[in-house]
Amino acid sequence: MTERYEIIKLIAKDPAGGRYLAEDSMLGRKVVFRHIDAEGDGMQQESWAKEFSVFAGKLCALQHPNLFTIYDVDVDEDGVSMVTQFIDEKSLSDHLKEGALPQISVYRMANDLLEALHAAHSSGVFHGALHAGSITRVPRAAGGHRYFIVDLGLNKLATMVKGKDVQIADPVLLAPELHDGTNEPDALADLFMVGQLCYTALAGGHPFAGESPEQCVASHMAGELTPLKDFAPDVQADFEAWVMHLAKGDRSQRPASMEDAMAALHAIKIHEPLPDVAAQVQAVTPTTAVQVVTPTTAVQVVAPAEEEAPAASVMDPAKKSNKKGLVMIGVLCLLIGIVLVVGLNRGDQRAGVDGHYSEVPEGVWVHLHETLIVNTIEKNDDPVEVNLDTEKTLDWNVFTAPRAKKEMPKGKYIRTVMASGKFKGVTGKESGIHFATGGGKAIPLDVTNAAKAGDGWQILLLVPKAHRGSMIVTFYMLQSQCDFHIEVTGKSGDKPLSKDVKATESGVVKIPLELPKPKGGQGYNIKITAQSIGSKEGFAMGLNAIHVGRR
């Protein structure tokens, strides 16, 4: 069989083995060639040969517009070779690196996946390992995309050939009942994974990403999956409810059958598609469990009062001439003092993230410290440089264009950053703030006045289990003609924080948020939205960077 196919290059590797782009020398077409190496002597048993022949026959017989075609399967002494259709398109996993998919795209993906799986189930084949790499899509002539399942049957084939349980699934998306390997996949397990894929595509990521398999099972069974609307507020309520229904950890709470899920989906009418919302997602791999976050309620916070300027003293005119020299010297000293103070403040701002903060009141689980203008728009030609790599640094993220991200190679605190709104980011050549990162310099996004009140970001933080001590989460934000509203929620039972950061001078503001002694495994949901202060002229806002550090 291998003589017919000329290997061109390796596409990817997974637990089942290598997947190669190859040329079919007989038909002159490109194909995907995969060889699954045998382990042990299981293939030598007569029962294995019969079981394999039946299963491989089912796979090859399946023909569906949303399933990759299997052209050939062959058994040799080293294992099994499989040749499938090749389509030169990116996987769903690749697309999600660029941000969430529009609602209409996810709706069509859900429909295509259910149609394909229904056909497979009717032939007695269940997937059992759907993940973002299982799906690819191609453009339709009439618009939109057609979604394909590219690895149906691979998980079972690899297990049969290798003689041991092979798991190519993503533990985050895998149905809880399949984790220990004692249960065979079925329709309800596949429905769960379709729901999880839709959730991930709409949110642009998954809140359990990076958890251990055991933590994923516990989180799903405890119903700790963050409501989808927290990440994708524009998704229709009926479609969100459908996705969350499929994604239930308890299989008894999912749709009773594939047919029921399809009927419920077809009853949903998706409105005109909205423009795709650009999102910045930081891919990290924490090993902690997500905590359930609850909706916020307003908490009245009084802004610090401004100090009154001291009253000016009145001097007798007769004494002015006698003290003229002293006055001039005094003014000169005052000017020198102002310059020194500004210079010292400037130096402190350039140092950036390791500032001195007031003590947090006893019993407070989250505290917003005094905000600081780092630089004004008028001084963009003299940008402030903030060093993000200090001895106290745990994690950071600078948001640069076009949607590229600077990631710190250590620390796993900033899980996801999701944009909410129709604004677009651009990099200004004269940005008022630069960031020193790992020996280099990053210039962040500035956001154009396409932003409007209500637009903003949602940030999910996770605290690793090994973390000890209080930490400061600092946001560097562009603020012009708008207030910021900040909401922070933590574990159930903690009173949420709701705080307004009032607009002062237009420029970059530093917003330090302290989490006093957070517990390992704790999750925090932070929402920052812009609030208009009247005039729309000059309205602009931007999330330049996030820094997480020890207090």
Mark residue 40 as left, alpha or beta (left: phi above 0; alpha: psi -120 to 50; beta: remaining): left
In a domain, 342, yes or no: no
Q: Is the pLDDT of residue 389 over 80?
A: yes
Comparing CA positions, the residue from 307, 237, 211, 290 lying closest to residue 462 is: 290
DSSP 241-252: HHHHHHT-SSGG
In this structure, are 384 and 504 located in the same domain? yes
Whether the Cβ atoms of residue 45 and residue 58 lie closer than 8 Å to each other:
no
pLDDT of residue 381: 75
Of residues 288 and 5, the one with the higher pLDDT is 5
Say yes or no: 225 and 353 in one domain.
Answer: no
pLDDT at 276: 38
Kindly write down the DSSP assignment for every residue of 335-356, as one continuous string.
Answer: HHHHHHHHHHHHHHHHH-S---
Looking at the fold, whether 250 and 390 belong to one and the same domain comes out as no
As given in the structure block, the two tokens for residue 294 are 């609850």
Same domain as 360, residue 255: no
Pair (259, 354) in one structural domain: no
Q: Are residue 444 and residue 545 in the same domain, yes or no?
A: yes
Taking residues 417-425, report their average pLDDT: 68
Of 215, 240, 266, at which residue does a domain stop? 266
Based on the fold, state whether residues 43 and 169 are members of the same structural domain. yes
pLDDT value at 208 more than 80: yes
Segment 520-542, tens digit of pLDDT: 778 888 999 888 665 455 577 88
Q: Which of 266, 288, 307 is the last residue of a domain?
A: 266
Query: Domain for residue 293, yes or no?
Result: no
Distance CA 270, CA 110 (A): 13
> pLDDT (tens digit, 9 = 90+) per residue, 263-283?
999 999 987 544 333 333 333
404 in a domain, yes or no?
yes
Which range, of 5-9, 195-199, 381-385, 474-478, averages the lowest pLDDT? 381-385
Confidence (pLDDT) at 287: 32
Q: What CA–CA distance (Å, rounded) separates 92 from 135? A: 5
State whether 58 and 198 are in the same domain: yes
Mean pLDDT of all residues in 391-403: 73
When pLDDT is averaged across residues 439-466 and rounded to a whole number, the result is 75
Query: In this structure, is residue 343 part of a structural domain?
Result: no
Report if residue 308 sits inside a domain. Answer: no
Residue 359 inside a domain? The answer is yes
What integer pLDDT is reported at residue 352 of this predicted model? 55
Task: Provide the domain limits for residue 435.
Answer: 348-550
Question: 211 or 104: which carries more pLDDT confidence?
Answer: 104
Asked whether residue 300 is assigned to any structural domain, the reply reads no
Read off the pLDDT of residues 324-383 as tens digits, 9 standing for 90 and up: 454 455 545 555 454 444 443 443 443 355 666 778 888 888 999 988 888 887 777 788
Q: What are phi and psi of 116, to 5 degrees?
A: -65, -45
Q: Which tens digit of pLDDT belongs to each residue from 466-480?
A: 888 899 999 998 888
Lowest mean pLDDT among 149-158, 161-170, 223-232: 161-170
Give me the pLDDT at residue 348, please.
41
Residue 222 maps to which CATH number?
1.10.510.10
The dihedral region occupied by 268, where left means phi > 0, alpha psi between -120 and 50, and beta the remainder, is beta
Residue 201 CB contacts under 8 Å (≥ 6 apart), including other chains: 92, 96, 100, 101, 105, 106, 109
Least-confidence region, from 121-130, 389-398, 527-536: 527-536
Residue 302 has pLDDT above 50, yes or no: no
Q: Which range is least confidently modeled, 57-61, 350-354, 387-391?
A: 350-354
Based on the structure, what is the number of domains in the chain?
2
Tokens found for residue 405: 């991200």
Q: Give which of 391, 365, 318, 407 is closest to 519, Cα–Cα.
A: 365
pLDDT of the residue at 345: 41
Question: In this structure, what CATH number is given to the domain that contains residue 447?
Answer: 2.60.120
Q: With respect to residue 528, please indicate whether it lies within any of the assigned structural domains.
A: yes
The whole-number average pLDDT for the span 390-417 is: 65
Q: Is the pLDDT of residue 316 over 90?
A: no
Prediction pTM value? 0.53
Which of 249, 266, 283 is a domain's end point?
266
